[in-house]
Amino acid sequence: MQPVPNHKQTLPKRSINIKRLWEQYSVIIAFSILIVIAAFVHENFFTSGNLINILRQVAIIGIIALGQTIVILSGGFDLSVGASLALSGAAGIAVMNHTGSIFMGVATTILCAMLIGAVNGTLITKGKIAPFIVTLGMMASARSIALYFADGGSSTGKVDGFTQIANGELLGISYPVYLFFAAVLVIYTIMKKTRFGRHVYAIGSNEKAALLSAIQVNRVKMAAYTLCGLLVGISAVIESSRLNSISSSSSGISYELDAIAAVVIGGTRLSGGKGSILGTLFGVLILGVLNNMINLMNVSPYLQGLVKGCIIIIAVLLQKREN
């Protein structure tokens, strides 16, 4: 047996700060490196047209990823976001066509998605069922209802002006990009500055301690899933307005996985309690830039999945090393 030197007290303060810096900014650093590479790889990358295009493409997944971040930070999971998008989008188009009112359609879509989130939340908190199971069941059910009502086909909007929501532009930038950044700002503020945000982090990190600190754990979780539903609803409006239709079989397919990928790349811990909205923003942007690079370089689109998969695994590997 040998004496063990005591590392704990000799650890210099500076190395702690560097570690903290890396923890907070590693996604941003990764994103910057990626941008530089992209700029070298193709001369068209750094044109404003291309950059705006990237933002437009990531807006839908981006908004969903914000909701997913909240749920994951609370120690949960939501697999139902893609199916919920299809169902609530189709419901909104149906109501809009029936009433002739865009407002009614949008309101229906958002309320429907929030309702799905609230049902998830209720089953998870009151039913005490694992979030993975509840939302997996919800994913299958919501998709099935959407398929049943559309008979497997698409619903198409019959009201003029509806497509303006996703395709309209201001200063050369389409509305969904503004919506995405507005959502980032609002959700960032909620998570960072409000009591609700603080409680979400506490629950995700240590649910028992949170409850024993007099936090209304069930209520906070319900709110997290419902808020996630709201964001899915906004995405559903954009998605249905983009092509003026929702396909019951293909809209929203694998969006849940893309959203979770963005959250994970953004450095949020999958078991909750640690992570940030800014991280998710950069996670979304990294995925967008990668897809864009693949297009610009004329690589087969079938390889997009491979690149995405590698990036997710590398991101998690790097986080592991930080701990």
Partner 1 sequence: MSRIRLEMKGITKSFGGVQALKGVDFSVNEGEIHALLGENGAGKSTLMNILGGVIPADAGEIWMDGRPVRISSPQDSKRCGISFIHQELNLIPDMTVYENLFLGSEMVSAYGFVDAKRMIQETRRILDMLGVQLDPEAIVGKLDASLKQVIEIAKSLLNESNIIIMDEPTTSLTDREIQHIFHVMRTLRSKGVSIIFISHKLQEVIQFCDRYTVLRDGELSSTGRIADTDEEKIAQAMVGKEVLKQQVYRPRALGEVVLEANGLHGGAFHDIRFTLRKGEILGFTGLSGAGHSELMEALFGYRPKTAGEVWIKGRTAVIRHPKQALASGLGFVPKNRKESAIIKDMSILENFTLASLGKVLRFGFIERKREREKFQAYREQINIKAGNPELPITSLSGGNQQKVILAKWLEADADIIILDNPTQGVDVGAKSEIYQLILELAEKGKSFIVLSSEIPEIQKLCDRVVVMYQGRVTAILDREEATEGRIMMYATGAKSQADTA
Give residues in contact with partner 1 (CB under 8 A).
1-4, 6, 8-9, 189, 193-195, 198-199, 201-202, 205-206, 208-216, 273-274
Tokens of 220: 């906070």
Query: Measured from the CB atom, is 6 or 300 closer to partner 1?
Result: 6
Rounded Cα distance, 295 and 301, in Å: 7
Query: Measured from the CB atom, is 3 or 49 closer to partner 1?
Result: 3
Name the minimum Å distance from CB 135 to partner 1: 24
Residue by residue, DSSP assigns 98-144 as HH--HHHHHHHHHHHHHHHHHHHHHHHHTS---HHHHHHHHHHHHHH
CA distances in angstroms from 166 to 32, 58, 106, 241, listed in the order given? 28, 13, 12, 5
Query: Measured from the CB atom, is 208 or 321 closer to partner 1?
Result: 208
- Do residues 113 and 63 touch, judged by C-beta distance below 8 A? no
Query: Measured from the CB atom, is 98 or 219 closer to partner 1?
Result: 219
Name the minimum Å distance from CB 229 to partner 1: 21
**In sequence order, which residues have a C-beta less than 8 Å from that of residue 6 and are 6 or more positions away?**
none
Query: Measured from the CB atom, is 21 or 310 closer to partner 1?
Result: 21
Name the minimum Å distance from CB 124 to partner 1: 17
Q: Is 129 exposed, middle or buried (0-12, 13-18, 19+ CB in 10 A)?
A: middle
Name the minimum Å distance from CB 210 to partner 1: 7
Query: Measured from the CB atom, is 98 or 193 closer to partner 1?
Result: 193
Name the minimum Å distance from CB 183 to partner 1: 18
- Do residues 31 and 282 touch, judged by C-beta distance below 8 A? yes
Cα atoms in the 13 Å half-sphere on the side-chain side of 208: 0
Tokens of 66: 């914000």
Neighbours of 58 (CB within 10 A): 25
Query: Measured from the CB atom, is 59 or 223 closer to partner 1?
Result: 223
Rounded Cα distance, 105 and 123, in Å: 27
3-state helix, strand, coil in the chain (%, to 5): 75, 5, 25
Name the minimum Å distance from CB 75 to partner 1: 11
Helix H or strand E encompassing 313? helix 304-322
Q: Is 8 exposed, middle or buried (0-12, 13-18, 19+ CB in 10 A)?
A: exposed
Name the minimum Å distance from CB 319 to partner 1: 13
Name the minimum Å distance from CB 19 to partner 1: 11
Query: Measured from the CB atom, is 199 or 242 closer to partner 1?
Result: 199
